[in-house]
Amino acid sequence: MNKLVLKTLLLLVLMVSAPFSQANNVDNKLGSKAQLQQLLADNKGKVIYLDFWASWCVPCRKSFPWMNEMQVKYAEQGLKIITVNVDVEKFLADEFLQENPANFTVIYDPNGAIAKEFKLKGMPSSYLLDKAGKPVSAHVGFFNNKKAEYEAEIAKLLATR
């Protein structure tokens, strides 16, 4: 990824993770910038795989089993998968999750506020953040033939101090 894109992503992560009130309850599953800020703050020091998805996204259906596998495989080493659903109608996301269970954090962004901050170029869009919260890579789409590459990026970051 080129330096300009990385700098832009870093700026966006810093903007999203600015100080805020502790009043937001992550368990309420209502999408908001503050909720993402809370999750990023709560998981400081972990490698974060941040994924944006929608119910109509066919590649998203393929990514969920892989994300579940990665969360189970690497949770103890410090991986945290956070996903952001961008469906306007929450029931569509709920139906998707009935068919594609998530063993990771899901927040909702029906107004697209979080998605706008990240200037998504497609679905799914994923960002890998190192233990310091700095974005180190981004992917648009999900490709089965790249799963080993995605996992290697995660494992490499988890191995760093």
pLDDT of residue 13: 44
pLDDT of residue 12: 45
Q: What is the pTM for the complete model shown?
A: 0.81
pLDDT at 1: 55
Q: Is 145 exposed, middle or buried (0-12, 13-18, 19+ CB in 10 A)?
A: exposed
pLDDT of residue 161: 79
**pLDDT on residue 52:** 97
Give the Cα separation of 125 and 52 in Å (integer): 5
Residue range of the domain that includes 17: 3-159
Total domains, the chain? 1
Instruction: Check residue 37 and give its pLDDT.
Output: 87
Question: Digits of tens for pLDDT over the chain (161 positions)?
Answer: 544 444 444 434 444 433 322 222 233 444 477 888 889 999 999 999 999 999 999 999 999 999 999 999 999 999 999 999 999 999 999 999 999 999 999 999 998 889 988 888 899 999 999 999 999 999 999 999 999 999 999 999 999 97
- Dihedral sign for Cα atoms in the order 115, 118, 119, 124: negative
pLDDT at 78: 96
> How far apart (Å, rounded) are the C-alpha atoms in residues 3 and 107?
29
Helices (H), 86-146: 90-99, 113-118
CATH number at residue 104: 3.40.30.10
The Cα 38–Cα 155 span in angstroms is 24
